[in-house]
Amino acid sequence: MWLPRAKSTARIRSHPACFSCSSFKDIQNLLSEDFNNSSSNGGSQIKSRPSIFHRVRIAKSILRAWSAQLPHSEPALPQPEPEPEPEPEIYLPGSENRVVVYFTSLRVVRSTFQDCNAVRSILRGFRVSVDERDVSMDARFMDELQRIMGRDKGKLRLPRVFVGGKYIGGADEIWQLHEAGELKKLVEGLHPAEVGVCEVCGGYRFILCDECSGSRKLFSEKGGFRTCAACNENGLIRCPSCSCDPL
């Protein structure tokens, strides 16, 4: 059987215990201060200082009160960017009833040659009158294009297309309009193309100059060799049978 439990004779201390562990030094001091204060004031509770959270709440309320009294400035609206000015439209006089394309038949620059051929094929597919002006066959075409566009020769990339006398653009613009179906609407109402091939030039639109026979120079006993004025030192002239009005 179990032995009867003896009554403990240890006295219960009325003050806080002293902790020997070094990690509880602060707790021991706090308990001793609280015990001394409560015993000196008859056990009444002492008002504690306001906590850090209470001071933060007071600071926030003061800031809100100040911000309410300050005049609020309206946020600046973003200003719209100025729209770019549209480029002035370019017209080619005397070509209101047909399509005019400036191109080159030389293969010096492959990409330019391919763009010229692609644009010519697209325009020929509409069966309208197309005036093809090859700048490599007649230097006056390049001079005319520079005068109309107002640009130097180095800044002009071929081909250049005019529809109904109005400048349309180059190869990229013609391709985009053709893919969207807008190019067909632009060429509607223009003169239809003539069926067949010219018997004089065979479709090349240029023939040998009658004055110099393609030699570009004329010889006379008095003056010697001089530049041919008929072809302007090109050796070729536009075919009078199939070409449009000469320059």
- Pairing of β 99-103 and β 160-163: antiparallel
Q: Is the CATH code 3.40.30.10 the one for domain 88-195?
A: yes
pLDDT over 90 (residue 247): no
Lowest-confidence segment of 26-30, 61-65, 240-244 by average pLDDT: 26-30
Residues 6+ apart with CB under 8 A from 100: 92, 130, 131, 133, 161, 162
Helix (H, G, I), strand (E, B), or coil: what is residue 24? helix
**Region of 188 on the Ramachandran plot (φ > 0 left; ψ -120 to 50 alpha; else beta):** beta
Question: Looking at residue 156, what is its pLDDT?
Answer: 84
Domain ranges of the chain: 88-195, 197-247
**For 72-119, how does the pLDDT look when each residue is reduced to its tens digit (9 = 90+)?**
555 666 777 776 555 578 889 888 888 999 999 988 899 999 999 999
Which sign, positive or negative, has the C-alpha torsion 54, 55, 58, 64? Answer: negative
Q: For residues 240 and 228, is the Cβ–Cβ distance under 8 A?
A: no
Which sign, positive or negative, has the C-alpha torsion 137, 140, 143, 149? Answer: negative
Lowest-confidence segment of 43-57, 120-134, 166-180, 198-212 by average pLDDT: 43-57
Question: Looking at residue 121, what is its pLDDT?
Answer: 94
**For 181-208, how does the pLDDT look when each residue is reduced to its tens digit (9 = 90+)?**
999 999 998 888 877 777 777 777 788 8
Give the mean pLDDT of the chain. Answer: 75
Task: Please indicate whether residue 17 or residue 54 has the higher confidence score (pLDDT).
Answer: 54
Question: Looking at residue 47, what is its pLDDT?
Answer: 52
Question: Looking at residue 11, what is its pLDDT?
Answer: 53
Q: What is the dihedral of CA 125, 126, 128, 129, to 10 degrees?
A: -40
- Cα(37)–Cα(181) distance, integer angstroms: 97
